[in-house]
Amino acid sequence: EDYLSRLKERETKIKSFLYVSEHALQEAEQLDKMVAAKSPLGPLAGVPFGIKDNLCTLDMPSTGGSKILEGYRPPFDATCVRKMKEAGALAIGKTNLDEFGMGSSTENSAFQVTSNPWDLSKVPGGSSGGSAACVAARQCTCSLGSDTGGSIRQPASFCGVVGLKPSYGRVSRYGLMAFASSLDVVGCFGTSVMDTAILLEVISGQDSLDATSSLLQVPSYSSLLPSIGSLETKPLDGLRIGLIKETVVDGVDSGVVSAIFKAADHLQVLGAKIQEVSLLSFSLGLPAYYILACSEASSNLARYDGIRYGNRAPADDLVSMYGNSRSQGFGQEVKRRILMGTYALSAGYYDAFYKKAQQVRTIVQTDFKNALKDCDLLISPAAPTAAYSIGEKTNDPLAMYAGDLMTVNVNLAGLPALVVPCGFTAGEGQKLPVGLQFIAAAFDEERMLRAGHIFE
Ligand code: GLN
């Protein structure tokens, strides 16, 4: 009741939710009965959580932030949602996002613009802006999101919460509306690293419904986190951390850079050995990402044809029915990406764009692999700026894309990354949060969580 009333009160200003559950209280009462009967409870019993609206839910609409799916009710829960429910967590609602995850500010939602709880005139980041804002505003305890090129990490940074992007394959994608299947991962937000470790443990694991989910056993991440001792004990002693040189250069907001350097100093005080490392392919990732993500999206979004899901526009024949449903149902950014992806994949351009982008992807992966031989973890800002004003970049898609510089390479390489609030930058009148990104080798979430937990 406490969470629901706070949710409703703050929602008028923040607008993180597209839908608020009507069953959460009943489910909580069910748990009360289990407590009274001394039945065993799951690890997240009674914890209210938000769900990004591109994750399918059985008892709540799932729109992906798109008009084409307005009112759509899937006949199943995404695997991550099912696992949260099995752990006893209470789904409190569906959170706002950029349409199908395409965007960095949540302004591309077909339904509403979400505000940053720190400053209502700023964006919360995106595409999981609703999931980050609802945790920052304490409308719920934690939330699920998805990250194709930074959609968990950049909003976590803008909203001053912890955001975790797992390794590709760690969490089942079953029930996540596909944007770019080779890059998409499900992850989570919390107010502490410990919370995200507990969530990761719950949602991870092999799933017969997602052939790319890994067979690797799921460690008990939360019990592996060390207790936080005094600074004198140097809890990070011996940990080799590489600060990615290309991420703290001119062009990156000076307030962000100074917060990151301070964070690096703090890690050093805790015993870590910080060295600067250079990733020569760093700036190649962004163009490669946009070619690959758009190419995959153009294929994945073919399923929205007005027949199988969501809205159908009236028309006289089949072809105009497809055409009308798609032109009325999709927003501008989604159309732009379908066009770019179709172009990049078309005969005659394939070698110049798609194939070349795949080659760049291999180079990015190799560079990370080499850097992670000399270092246990890498660090960088999660975004080149703090939260910016609503409307500031809506007419400039390239400026919006450029904001993803710090995050997309990690998806190209399939690595896990964690964003932890590390300070503030002074915006106009108001200080805005800055997030520190930790990047680890594939399936080395544990090391990244341990460092983030102590740093916090
Ligand atoms: N901002 C990036 C994009 O627009 C990443 C989005 C995401 O991770 N879903 O593609």
Largest CA distance in the chain: 75
Active site residue 52: yes
For ligand 1, atom 10: residue with the closest CA = 102
Closest ligand 1 atom to Cα of 293: 10
In the reported structure, the alpha carbon of residue 280 is separated from the centroid of ligand 1 by a whole-number distance in angstroms of 23
CB burial string 267-276: b at 16+ within 10 A, e below = beebebebee
Active site residue 192: no
In the reported structure, the alpha carbon of residue 286 is separated from the centroid of ligand 1 by a whole-number distance in angstroms of 11
For ligand 1, atom 5: residue with the closest CA = 149
Spot the catalytic one: 52, 67, 85, 165. 52
148 lines ligand 1 (CB under 6 A): yes
The pLDDT confidence band at residue 456, using thresholds 50, 70 and 90, is: confident
159 lines ligand 1 (CB under 6 A): no
Tell me whether residue 312 is in a domain. no
Tell me whether residue 297 is in a domain. no
In the reported structure, the alpha carbon of residue 125 is separated from the centroid of ligand 1 by a whole-number distance in angstroms of 10
- List the one residue out of 248, 244, 254, 270 whose CA is nearest residue 371: 244
pLDDT digits (tens, 9 = 90+) for 390-412: 999 999 999 999 999 999 999 99
Tell me whether residue 386 is in a domain. yes
101 lines ligand 1 (CB under 6 A): yes
Number of H helices, E strands in the chain: 15, 11
372 lines ligand 1 (CB under 6 A): no
In the reported structure, the alpha carbon of residue 447 is separated from the centroid of ligand 1 by a whole-number distance in angstroms of 26
Closest ligand 1 atom to Cα of 151: 8
Q: How far apart (Å, rounded) are the C-alpha atoms in residues 267 and 379?
A: 11
For ligand 1, atom 4: residue with the closest CA = 103
Tell me whether residue 293 is in a domain. no
Cβ burial of 31 (10 Å; 0-12, 13-18, 19+) is middle
154 lines ligand 1 (CB under 6 A): no
Q: What is the dihedral of CA 214, 227, 198, 11, to 10 degrees?
A: -130
Contact 414, 442 (CB under 8 A): yes
Q: What is the pLDDT of residue 228?
A: 72
CA-based torsion, 83, 89, 92, 97: positive or negative: negative
Spot the catalytic one: 62, 104, 151, 380. 151
Residue of 95, 151, 412 best suited for mutating to test ligand 1, as the one with most atoms within 8 Å of CB: 151
411 lines ligand 1 (CB under 6 A): no
- Count of domains in the chain? 1
107 lines ligand 1 (CB under 6 A): no
CA-based torsion, 76, 82, 88, 89: positive or negative: negative
In the reported structure, the alpha carbon of residue 109 is separated from the centroid of ligand 1 by a whole-number distance in angstroms of 13
pLDDT digits (tens, 9 = 90+) for 240-289: 999 999 999 999 999 999 999 999 999 999 999 999 999 999 999 999 99
Closest ligand 1 atom to Cα of 152: 8
| Residue 229 reports pLDDT greater than 90 | no
Tell me whether residue 225 is in a domain. no
In the reported structure, the alpha carbon of residue 129 is separated from the centroid of ligand 1 by a whole-number distance in angstroms of 11
Contacts of 326 by beta carbon, 8 Å cutoff, 6+ apart: 68, 304, 305, 306
Q: What is the pLDDT of residue 429?
A: 63
| Residue 441 reports pLDDT greater than 90 | yes
Tell me whether residue 304 is in a domain. no
Residue of 104, 158, 290 best suited for mutating to test ligand 1, as the one with most atoms within 8 Å of CB: 104
Contact 399, 393 (CB under 8 A): yes
The pLDDT confidence band at residue 309, using thresholds 50, 70 and 90, is: confident
- At how many degrees (to 10) do helices 79-86 and 193-203 cross? 110
102 lines ligand 1 (CB under 6 A): yes
Closest ligand 1 atom to Cα of 147: 8
HEC readout, 158-173: HHCCEEEECCCCCECC
Q: How many CB atoms lie within 10 A of CB 35?
A: 11
> Could you tell me where the DSSP H helices lie in 38-179?
79-86, 129-136, 153-159
Residue ranges of E strands in 205-277:
240-244, 273-277
In the reported structure, the alpha carbon of residue 381 is separated from the centroid of ligand 1 by a whole-number distance in angstroms of 17
pLDDT digits (tens, 9 = 90+) for 187-196: 999 999 999 9
Active site residue 151: yes
404 lines ligand 1 (CB under 6 A): yes
CB burial string 315-326: b at 16+ within 10 A, e below = eeeeeebbebbb
88 lines ligand 1 (CB under 6 A): no
The pLDDT confidence band at residue 230, using thresholds 50, 70 and 90, is: low
- Kindly provide the ipTM of the predicted complex, given to two decimals: 0.98
Enclosing domain of residue 241: 2-216+233-285+354-455
Spot the catalytic one: 105, 109, 127, 214. 127
Closest ligand 1 atom to Cα of 289: 10
- List the one residue out of 73, 448, 395, 425 whose CA is nearest residue 236: 448
Is the whole-model pTM more than 0.95?
Answer: yes
Min mean pLDDT across 232-236, 243-247, 357-361 is at 232-236
CATH of the domain at 87: 3.90.1300.10
Q: What is the pLDDT of residue 102?
A: 98
* Ramachandran quadrant class, 211 (left: phi over 0; alpha: psi -120 to 50; beta: rest): alpha
Give the helix/strand (H/E) hosting 320: helix 318-329
151 lines ligand 1 (CB under 6 A): yes
pLDDT digits (tens, 9 = 90+) for 360-392: 999 999 999 999 999 999 999 999 999 999 999
104 lines ligand 1 (CB under 6 A): yes
Cβ burial of 358 (10 Å; 0-12, 13-18, 19+) is middle
Q: What is the pLDDT of residue 427?
A: 58
Tokens of 303: 């399923």
Q: How far apart (Å, rounded) are the C-alpha atoms in residues 365 and 155?
A: 24
288 lines ligand 1 (CB under 6 A): no
Tell me whether residue 63 is in a domain. yes
Tell me whether residue 305 is in a domain. no
Q: What is the dihedral of CA 426, 121, 150, 204, to 10 degrees?
A: 110
pLDDT digits (tens, 9 = 90+) for 121-178: 999 999 999 999 999 999 999 999 999 999 999 999 999 999 999 999 999 999 999 9
Apex 291 CA angle, 288 and 296, nearest 5: 120
- List the one residue out of 414, 265, 332 whose CA is nearest residue 110: 332
